[in-house]
Amino acid sequence: MYIEYFFIALTCLYLLTHLFLYKGLRVSLKLPKNTEVDLPKVSVIVAGRNEEANIAACINSLSKINYPSDLLEIIIVNDNSTDKTYDIMIESAKGFSFMKVINSRKSTSKNLKGKANAIDTAIDICSGDIIVSTDADCAVDPDWVRSTVRYFKADAGMVCGFTMITGDSIFAKVQCIDWLYLLSLASSSAGLNLILSCVGNNLSFKKKVYSDVGGYESIGFSVTEDLALMRKVDSNENYRILFPVDKSCLVRSLPCTSINELFSQKRRWFRGGIGINFLGYIVGVELYLMNVLLIFGLFFVSPKIFLILAVIKILSELILVENIFKRLSLQSLYVFYPLFSIYFAIYGLILPLSFLFKIKIKWKGQKF
């Protein structure tokens, strides 16, 4: 009886939390673009390690960016690849005067490792006032840069964007909803000035801001360097972080192709998420307990109560997700949402427990 009351109270709290987050999402949905100032000089940075299968398509999409060529530079960084990534970078960038390919420098700093070092290498030589970054397994739309930089106001130090997972398989579809739901939480929290997270494959910031916070050199090493930089910027009261919901700023990324790859990705995110703000811990605990309810609830509550609580859980999430699907024209994903709920609950329950048996993170052939 008491445990049934507990899950009823938990579900009501889950609903209230999402209603609170919706207040922040409304702010992000209404962010205005600044179209009355001249376009700034922009440096697009892409770091890739062992991306021989993807980097050519990425560079091809970057070559079609709709932005004045005299205000745009694209720096492709080879992050110590052991395959043909560097050669493909060189070949794919030929003929584009605004592109340059470099190797990540060797660093002895304990804070400058892996991707953080590769990005910092490019920032050292870039000339843009605004730095826009994506990943080697991503593709961008022609208006991605132009639309993104229009959100930079005087106090905006960083602008985060949404990423959509592509692919026709059911596995790809549930991963797409997964990303969109998690990014809806991030966008909502940004609107509340309590930002939870961001993704490095669609991230932009002023070069001055990067310098002011000390860059990656001043940040302790993290397996999620993008999140670590976001927190550093967020700690500076002179700058705001914006997270608009804008289809023209959308980046497309490839899905994980196996359960092992998915768990490696999620473990890296989970490890990087340690030290999140109080809102993040509240949301995280609620999510975990609601996943317990969805998977094991029939052992604790009656079928009728279970069904009502499960419906309230999904409707709570759709308060946020419905706005994202509509703004990004992704309403076709609704049909996969029940399956996503089960997928999300299963990996959400297993993920924290996995650290009891395996502490090290493996990503891109490296261990951290």
- Residue 271 belongs to a domain: yes
Domain match, 92 and 162 both = no
What Å distances lie between residue 102 and 63, 68, 69, 125, 166, CA to CA? 17, 23, 20, 10, 28
Same structural domain, 170 and 264: yes
Q: Please report the beta strands in the chain, taking only residues with DSSP state E, as ranges in sequence order.
A: 42-48, 72-78, 99-103, 130-135, 138-140, 156-160, 163-165, 203-206, 240-242, 251-253, 362-363, 366-367
Domain that includes residue 272, residue range? 1-31+150-199+221-354
Cβ atoms within 10 Å of 124's Cβ, excluding its own: 10
| Domain-located, residue 111 | yes
One domain, residues 74 and 91 = yes
Query: Within 10 Å of residue 238's Cβ, how many Cβ atoms?
Result: 10
pLDDT in tens, the chain (368 residues): 689 999 999 999 999 999 999 999 999 999 999 887 789 999 999 999 999 999 999 999 999 999 999 999 999 999 999 999 999 999 999 999 999 999 999 877 777 888 999 999 999 999 999 999 999 999 999 999 999 999 998 899 999 999 999 999 999 999 999 999 999 999 999 999 999 999 999 999 999 999 999 999 888 877 788 999 999 999 999 999 999 999 999 999 999 999 989 988 888 888 878 888 999 999 999 999 999 999 999 999 999 999 999 999 999 999 999 999 999 999 999 999 999 999 999 999 998 887 766 656 555 555 55
Residues 292 and 186 in one domain: yes
User: Among 86, 103, 137, where does a domain finish?
Assistant: 137
The whole-angstrom separation of Cα 230 and Cα 217 is 14
In this structure, the answer to whether residues 95 and 162 fall within a common structural domain is: no
Q: Are 158 and 238 part of one and the same domain? A: yes
How far, in whole angstroms, is CA 257 from its chain's centroid? 18
Assess contact for 348 and 288: CB atoms under 8 A: yes
pTM for this model (two decimals) = 0.93
Tell me the two tokens of residue 145. Answer: 């840069």
Domain count, the chain: 2
Q: Are residues 279 and 228 in the same domain?
A: yes
Burial of 71 (0-12, 13-18, 19+ CB in 10 A): middle
Q: Is residue 209 part of a domain?
A: no
Domain boundary among 83, 102, 137: 137
Residues in the chain: 368
Q: Are residues 107 and 228 in the same domain?
A: no
CA–CA dist 105, 117 (Å, integer): 7
Q: Are residues 255 and 322 in the same domain?
A: yes
CA distances from residue 201 to 19, 173, 174 in whole angstroms, order as listed: 28, 19, 19
Looking at 96, 115, 137, the residue that finishes a domain is: 137
